[in-house]
């Protein structure tokens, strides 16, 4: 059931402790569900209540603390010894009186960690302002340090096994995009396309099942293609509209995102003009990426490519991607953007998404790639172009403009 072996488990812990030592952190409170998974195997939809993994620099095993009803899951899905799984009673859950961090503070004091340098993930969704406040109240002799992204940076280079998981996710992403473009035509409701995508993503392939992506399928249409994060409605598509489809395949919580733009019938003049610019920029980037470059240098290739056509892009060009939980499949470490100093190394993985959004339309054609020893390789095979559909007929996947 576990997605990595005990040697990898020890290896991940040891790299984390090394970074803790470099940062002067003796006790690390890991609240990011992806980091909890990475360090222990823990995988459950229980992150809507406070929970954490405690990594102590001079203790061999981490401690899991969470809700009582989730302790069985922690024992079943992790490498942690059962005696290191500690559960708080249910009256701590979403209570105006009790807070789980009071419980955590008490445990830390009991095991002699109350006066140490404690690292916390300051900007994580699952470490609220109140969580820090209550910990500080409960541990007046501790010194708190910002350990945000400490484990995320350990995760930035994937193991070969993690790459294999991403390749499986990629196959799901390809099939889901195929299903999406197949099911988009005039008269179809947005929600039914979203349902088709979900079916494919969750069911996976005949050989292995899919997992839930950390972001829902995004498929704005018509003028809403200018607003990339609106979700679907039950509006029916019309001839001449464009639809942006952004989705991810997910396997064992590893994501491979993929975006394409679909035109229902003849593309607008704007889309016809912008598509080759985006594809050319993508190709230039993908041909140039290699280990040793910085993320900022990658972005400058794109920027120079589109500048030839008089276009500028405001948003970042991409981000590190892999293991994650809602609400984001991005890893919050390296971004492909101006000035990012991260140096590319083999088995770093990115979602390269040169989305352009104008006042009343937008376009997204993306690729997820892995840095290789000599360059990079994309995870998916879906044609890198605008997808043009016969507007009234369900067909295989639309004719591809080339």
Site for a copy of itself in 5-34 (CB under 8 A): none
Q: Is 64 helix (H, G, I), strand (E, B) or coil?
A: strand
Of 162, 183, 177, 149, which Cα lies nearest the Cα of 260?
177
Q: How far is the CB of 122 from a copy of itself (least distance, A)?
A: 4
Residues within window 103-122 making contact with a copy of itself, judged by CB under 8 A: 120, 122
Q: Does 316 bind a copy of itself (CB under 8 A)?
A: yes
Give the DSSP H or E segment for 29: strand 27-30
In the complex, what is the shortest distance from the CB of residue 45 to a copy of itself, in angstroms, rounded to a whole number? 5
Neighbours of 263 (CB within 10 A): 23
Q: Establish if 232 lies at the interface with a copy of itself (CB under 8 A).
A: yes
For residue 254, what are the CA distances in angstroms to 61, 68, 159, 212, 328? 25, 27, 12, 10, 12
Nearest distance from residue 154's CB to a copy of itself, in Å?
16
Q: Quick check: helix, strand or coil at residue 402?
A: coil
Q: Among 18, 95, 345, 372, which residue sits at the site for a copy of itself (rule: CB under 8 A)?
A: 95
The DSSP-derived string for 144-160 is EEE-TTHHHHHHTBPPH
The reply on whether position 377 binds a copy of itself by CB under 8 A is no
The side-by-side arrangement of strands in the sheet containing 399-400 is 242-251, 254-264, 387-389, 399-400
Number of residues that bind a copy of itself (CB under 8 A): 85
Question: In angstroms, what CA-CA distances link 135 with 21, 51, 67, 84, 98?
Answer: 22, 13, 17, 20, 13
Residue 99 CB, shortest distance to a copy of itself, in Å, is 8
The window from 176-184, 275-283, 324-332, 386-394 that contacts a copy of itself (CB under 8 A) reads 324-332
Looking at residues 182 to 201 of the shown chain, list those that interact with a copy of itself (rule: CB under 8 A). 189-192, 194-196, 198-200
13 vs 80, beta carbon nearer a copy of itself: 80
> Among residue numbers 234 through 253, which ones bind a copy of itself (CB under 8 A)?
234
Name every residue whose Cβ is closer than 8 Å to that of residue 391 and which is 6 or more positions away in sequence: 185, 186, 239, 240, 264, 265
Q: Which residues 35-94 are close enough to bind a copy of itself by CB under 8 A?
A: 43-48, 68-70, 72-73, 76-77, 89-91, 93-94
> At 118, which helix (H) or strand (E)?
strand 117-120
Q: In sequence order, which residues have a C-beta less than 8 Å from that of residue 20 and are 6 or more positions away? A: 26, 28, 55, 57, 119, 147, 150
Give the total residue count for the chain.
402
If the CB atoms of residues 159 and 226 are measured against a copy of itself, the closer one turns out to be 226
> Burial, 16: exposed, middle or buried (Cβ in 10 Å; 0-12, 13-18, 19+)?
buried
Spatial separation of the C-alpha atoms in residues 62 and 251, rounded to whole Å: 25
From candidates 2, 111, 163, 202, binder to a copy of itself by CB under 8 A: 202
Q: Does 343 bind a copy of itself (CB under 8 A)?
A: no
We find the least distance from the C-beta atom of residue 366 to a copy of itself, in angstroms, to be: 14
Nearest approach in angstroms of CB 46 to a copy of itself is 4
Among 112, 129, 140, 396, binds a copy of itself (CB under 8 A): 129
Asked if residue 328 binds a copy of itself (CB under 8 A), the reply is yes
Per-residue binding letters, 130-149, with a copy of itself (x by CB under 8 A):
xxxx------------x-xx
């Amino acid at each position: 059931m576990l997605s990595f072996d005990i040697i990898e488990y020890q290896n991940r812990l040891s790299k984390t402790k090394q970074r803790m030592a470099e940062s002067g952190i003796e006790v690390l409170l890991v609240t990011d569900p992806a980091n909890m998974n990475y360090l222990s195997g823990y995988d459950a939809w229980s992150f809507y209540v406070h929970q954490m993994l405690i990594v102590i620099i001079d203790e061999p095993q981490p401690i899991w603390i969470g809700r009582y009803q989730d302790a069985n899951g922690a024992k079943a899905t992790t490498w942690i010894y059962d005696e290191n799984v500690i559960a708080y009673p249910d009256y701590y859950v979403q209570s105006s009186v009790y807070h789980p961090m009071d419980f955590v503070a008490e445990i830390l004091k009991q095991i002699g960690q109350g006066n140490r340098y404690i690292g916390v993930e300051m900007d994580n969704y699952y470490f609220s302002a109140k969580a820090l406040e209550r910990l500080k109240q409960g541990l007046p002799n501790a010194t708190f340090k910002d350990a945000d992204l400490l484990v995320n940076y350990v995760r930035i280079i994937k193991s070969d096994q993690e790459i294999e998981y991403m390749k499986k996710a990629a196959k799901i992403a390809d099939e889901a995009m195929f299903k999406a473009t197949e099911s988009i035509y005039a008269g179809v409701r947005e929600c039914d396309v979203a349902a088709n995508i979900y079916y494919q993503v969750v069911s996976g392939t005949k050989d292995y099942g899919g997992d839930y992506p950390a972001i829902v399928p995004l498929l704005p249409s018509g003028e809403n293609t200018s607003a990339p994060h609106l979700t679907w409605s039950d509006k029916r598509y019309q001839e001449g509209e464009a639809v942006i489809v952004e989705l991810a395949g997910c396997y064992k919580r590893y994501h491979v995102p993929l975006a394409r733009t679909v035109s229902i019938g003849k593309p607008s003049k704007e889309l016809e003009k912008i598509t080759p610019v985006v594809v050319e920029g993508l190709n230039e980037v993908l041909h140039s990426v290699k280990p040793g470059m910085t993320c900022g240098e990658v972005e400058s290739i794109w920027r120079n490519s589109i500048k030839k056509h008089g276009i500028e892009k405001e948003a970042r060009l991409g981000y590190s991607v892999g293991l994650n939980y809602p609400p984001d499949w991005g890893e919050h470490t390296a971004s492909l953007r101006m000035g990012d100093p991260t140096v590319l190394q083999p088995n770093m993985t990115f979602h390269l998404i040169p989305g352009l959004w104008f006042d009343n339309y937008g376009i997204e054609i993306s690729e997820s790639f892995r840095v290789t020893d000599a360059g990079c390789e994309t995870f998916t095979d879906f044609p890198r172009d605008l997808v043009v559909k016969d507007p009234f007929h369900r067909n295989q996947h639309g004719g591809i403009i080339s």
